[in-house]
Structure 1
Amino acid sequence: MPSMLRAALSVVPFPRPSTLPEDTLTSTAVVDRAHLARYQRVCGFRLSDRLPVTYPHVLGFGLQLDLMTRRDFPFPVVGGVHVANRIEQTRPLTADDVLELAVHAQDLRDHPRGRQYDVITTASVDGAVVWRDVSTYLRRGPSAGPREERPAREPAPGAPPHATWRVPTSTGTAYADASGDHNPIHTSWLGARLFGFPRPIAHGMWSKARCLAALEGRLPDVYTVDVSFKLPMLLPATVGFTWTGREFGLRDARSGKPYLAGTVTR
């Protein structure tokens, strides 16, 4: 059964465990250069045999979905919110590298708005881990965590952005085709409305990749990049990109609403 169909069926109620599965799922990924080029175009990277640091996340997405749609996973995958992503790269990767991928989940914990957990994806070459991805998801609902303090409203930035981008509605479908993430909140007006959005929203990992594409040539070979996904980006959108040394961000060009905040660490 295709993973996205299993994802849709995961909302059907059935008894679920209260803990994350301990299994690790594995697969081998050989880079398809045509697919790599399609991903690079959608995200704004230069066409090259060098893999964008976000590209192995796409190669591992099928494994991630396989894990989160299992019957022994404590939550349906539909309704989970991707709130943060951290990627560590220990050396540049190229299309010639054969990647051994491994995915597992860990650290189920309380959050003021529900429960959080991490899905860890690693890529190894010749037995050595060279890339690691931590995707943090929030499942809204009751929690034993501390009372949530309402954050102060972030003011619109005073300085103009370094770049302004128009993001068409077609970005959702184009990135879904390149990444395999066909969640209807990104690709369908009806699907978005069923989950409370007036229009489709951009994929968070597209936003991260687009920001890093804007920094090509400025990033070191070995680094860690963290992002927090803030507010959903309704499509179409006009966004402002800012970069200040090791920090970057993406905001609505008119209102200043934050979509993403990130940090690059050597």
Structure 2
Amino acid sequence: MGVVLEFDEPPVVSLATVAMKRASKHTPGAPFPHIEARARRLLPNPDAYARICGFPTTDPLPVTYPDVLARGLQLAVLTHTDFPLRLMGIIHTEQTIEQRRAIHPTEALAGRAWVEGPRVARKGGEFDLHTLISAAGEDVWHGVTTILSRELPGDGVKRPHPQEPSWNATRSVVWPLPADLGRRYSAVTGDYNPIHLWPVTARLFGFKRPIAHGWWALARCVAELDTDVPANCRIHARFSSPMPMPGKLCFAAGPMASGGHAFALRRKDVCLSGEVRPG
């Protein structure tokens, strides 16, 4: 069964705890130990998040917000002494969200978080951070966050990109990326990865400038899609290149022949691409 951490509400994990997390021994090829954190009660407060991501500050909850609700559970798992990696400098590479129905802030919500992996990637090792949200015992939201750690050995093999769905853009808009966006988003969500904060902290991990949070970029895309995102939906996104701040991003979206909508964010190249489909 491994380690199961039980909480009434998600714990507050300090930035110092995250920063001081040290790597421990991990046998190459072996799975991570099972570490799971559970909270019996989640208390939504989505207004500041909705504003910074472009959602309306009204019921129901933004479809990307449950990840923020469970942030304390995620950090409890990732900072546990049995988890073998440091958190500083990890990179969000892929995201899947499955929401069964609209979630309302007045509901009795509970949450779980755990990790699975790792698996070898080109530039390190990847693992999946799972987040499950339930309402009165009914599972209503499941997120899988795929994360790259360069602490783990990579194999140097360039893998083919998955085939993109066929679609044509029917709308586009340019968004500014202010220099302080990462710091403001961190203050709202508690995600203080230094690659998003200041030039000096980003350079410690190989980036010339701080880069935008993948979760912010995905949430901003979903907010822009608005009514094209059904309450019962599946969202999948891939992060292919950094989004340096300050700067600009071009958002484009359009319907797919197979149903649902595709979207992309570009600078010179694609930074993020994804699809929203009915659940």
Q: Which residues of 2 match residues 65-214 of structure 1 at below 5 A?
A: 65-140=75-150, 141-143=152-154, 147-148=157-158, 162-214=172-224
Residues 19 and 73 in structure 1, CA contact (< 8 A), matched pair in contact too:
no
Match of 2:5 in 1: none
Equivalent AA in structure 1 for residue 21 of structure 2: S
Equivalent AA in structure 2 for residue 63 of structure 1: L
**Identical residues among aligned pairs (%):** 34
- Give unmatched runs, 5+ long, in structure 2: 1-11, 162-167, 256-260
Equivalent residue of 1:162, what SS? Answer: strand
- Of residues 20, 25, 33, the one that matches 1:9 is 20
Q: 1:160–1:89: structure 2 CA closer, same or farther, 3 Å change rule?
A: closer
> In the TM superposition, what is the alpha-carbon distance from 1:150 to its structure 2 partner?
8.1
Q: 1:188–1:7: structure 2 CA closer, same or farther, 3 Å change rule?
A: same
Residues 19 and 74 in structure 1, CA contact (< 8 A), matched pair in contact too:
no
Q: 1:92–1:19: structure 2 CA closer, same or farther, 3 Å change rule?
A: same
Equivalent residue of 1:76, what SS? Answer: coil
CA-based RMSD:
2.1
> In the TM superposition, what is the alpha-carbon distance from 1:107 to its structure 2 partner?
3.1
1:112-159 Cα deviation digits (max 9, x unpaired): 33221111000001111000000011122424x5832587xxxxxx97
Equivalent AA in structure 1 for residue 266 of structure 2: R
Q: 1:10–1:86: structure 2 CA closer, same or farther, 3 Å change rule?
A: same
- Of residues 262, 269, 273, the one that matches 1:247 is 262
- Give unmatched runs, 5+ long, in structure 1: 152-157
Equivalent residue of 2:202, what SS? Answer: helix
Equivalent AA in structure 1 for residue 33 of structure 2: P
Q: 1:215–1:25: structure 2 CA closer, same or farther, 3 Å change rule?
A: same
Please give the alpha-carbon distance, in whole angstroms, between the structure 2 residues aligned to 1:180 and 1:86: 20
Structure 1 length-normalised TM: 0.88
Number of residue-to-residue matches in the alignment: 252
- Of residues 38, 43, 47, the one that matches 1:30 is 43
Residues 26 and 101 in structure 1, CA contact (< 8 A), matched pair in contact too:
yes
Please give the alpha-carbon distance, in whole angstroms, between the structure 1 residues aligned to 2:116 and 2:159: 26
Match of 2:271 in 1: 259
Residue 20 (1) aligns with residue 32 (2):
yes
Match of 1:222 in 2: 232
